[in-house]
A and B are shown apart, each in its own frame.
Chain A
Amino acid sequence: MYDIATDHASALTAALLLLLFVVAFVGGLRFLSARRVAWAVRVTHVYEAAPSITKLAAALMLLSGGIHLALVPGHEGITGVLFVIDGLGFIVFAIAAFLTTWWRRPAVLWLAATILAYIVWVIAGWETPDQIGIACKLIELVALGLLMRLANPTRRTWPRRLWRATSFPLMACVTTLGIWVGGLAHPDALHAHAGALLQPVAAVATPEEQRAAAKLLADTRASIARYQDPAAAIDAGFKPSPVSNADPLRHFVNSANANAVLDPKRPQAVVYAQTTHGLQLIGAMYQMKRAGQWGPDPGGPLTQWHQHEGICFSPFGFEFSFETPFWTCPVGSTSITTPPMLHVWIIDNGKNGPFAADLDKAVQRQLTGRP
């Protein structure tokens, strides 16, 4: 669900280079200091005198500043300007941490404002949350947590203690929920719905592609007609997926067909709908062997594969939920990404069409009586 945006990839390189630069800079300072270079001795002394927590917080702010500045070329208008201000601000605070005594409070405000601004941008749809943006918020959250630990409370009243104990976890929760809401409210064009990534394809199908798609549909329909009765599918080696309260569709998977590639005679699964009068055959599912390995799409944009990602899968009861933007799942479940799959619906799938990732909601409701 959260990829690395093309125009954000440079920030990853910038972050790694910045880390290497900081390590080399500190090493160089120590080298010069050992050779009694006056200014290096002074700077090293200031650096060494700072607590570890300050050093780490400064390093994280420097990292966030570097990432923001590296992202400027891909962001125009007000966002680009804010990235410049933000990046420079973080660098100033990272340096001020070693030279001043007043830096902590403004840095806390700067970090909190940056995180909240990102949430606003994401929810408003002005920025698509991707892994670089989320990783940057993680870095800022840790820096914020470190700065909050540096506070030396003079008044230990109950409200203040409660605020100190809950403010940081609350900020982490709000950040996670904010990114999540933004990502779900404004999915990019390649996400059919939360958790399904579509294969990149051309916008319009050629006449050849239209004919190939129609042939795939006809061949699939003819091939799986023999499995109208689920017992016939089981006899042929298809194993039914466990019954799920959440999903009225059941996939019968045949592992013997795992190596076949878009072969209508050997689909990886046949799909049934749980209707009031029993299981009804509604389609087939073709699947590749590995995640990220898109299959052949003879119909171009008409036969667009999709893979499910950002899913928390629990083997207890074969259940699913969505993972958080920080890639966490409930205990007892794990994040999974499925290999790409292509559904071929042999029933009329309404406006979604015969190769859609999902069964049309209206069709599903009509078939199963459930949304």
Chain B
Amino acid sequence: MNHTGSVDNSASEIASVFVVVQASFSLVAGLSALPFAIVEPGFRVLGATTILMAAAIFWLARNLRRERRWAWRWLVTLEILSLAMTALLALLPIGSIRGPVPLLVNLVIPLAVLVLLAGAKSNARRAA
């Protein structure tokens, strides 16, 4: 068992809720691709990949609550990747972020998770 020590449970708990929200949205995105997969063969692969990824994120959220260090690392990596992709897509003239909902889902929630994860780690360091 690889624990982060006495991680601030509150920060981890809140972060895990945000991560579960993200995983749920990924799950629906994956499921929503399946009807299109009837005529779009590429979306069969993308839909299945998204559902598997959602399951993995649920698993990471569960293990974050259990204070597993590897879950913390994976989530930090995923959230940074997600933010980088959001920044990149926002720079392209494709209208990927328009309005409060994409801003909350693609920017505010990943940022909040990163801040909470950083807070959880610094609290763990202080306690050690």
Contacts and interface: CB of A to CB of B under 8 A. Distances in A.
A79 interface: no
B105 interface: yes
Interface string A104-132: 00000000000000000000000000011
Contact of A324 (B17, B32, B43, B95): B32
A314 interface: yes
Contact of B41 (A131, A245, A309): A245
Given A145-B20, A169-B23, A245 B39 contact: yes
B127 interface: no
B98 A141 contact: no
Per DSSP, chain B at the interface is helix
Interface in A302-354: 309, 312-314, 316-317, 319-338
A321 B43 contact: yes
A149 B13 contact: yes
Interface in A13-51: 51
B21 A246 contact: no
Interface in B1-56: 10-11, 13-14, 16-18, 20-21, 23-33, 36, 39-43, 45-47, 49-50, 53
A284 B42 CA distance: 28
Given A172-B28, A246-B39, A319-B36, 5 more contacts: A56-B14, A173-B28, A290-B93, A309-B95, A335-B102
18 contacts: A56-B14, A141-B21, A142-B18, A168-B20, A172-B25, A312-B33, A314-B42, A314-B43, A321-B32, A330-B32, A330-B46, A331-B50, A332-B49, A333-B46, A335-B95, A335-B96, A335-B102, A338-B95
A4 interface: yes
A320 B100 contact: no
B87 to A, nearest CB: 13
B9 to A, nearest CB: 9
A131 B17 contact: no
Contacts, number: 158
Interface string A134-169: 110010011001100100000000000000010011
Nearest to A313: B94
A180 B32 CA distance: 10
Interface residues of B, number: 47
A329 B40 CA distance: 15
B115 interface: no
A331 B49 contact: yes
A324 B31 CA distance: 10
A95 B31 CA distance: 38
B17 A173 contact: no
A332 B43 CA distance: 9
A337 B42 contact: no
B28 A330 contact: no
A345 B47 CA distance: 34
B33 A246 contact: no
A149 B43 contact: no
A317 B105 contact: no
A338 B62 CA distance: 39
B10 A53 contact: yes
A12 interface: yes
B58 interface: yes
Contacts of A334: 89, 94, 96
A368 interface: no
Contacts of A336: 94-96
A144 B123 CA distance: 26
A328 B105 contact: yes
**Which of B16, B42, B106 has the largest count of A CB atoms less than 10 A from its CB?**
B42
B26 to A, nearest CB: 7
A60 B14 CA distance: 13
B40 A317 contact: yes
Interface in B80-103: 89, 93-96, 98-102
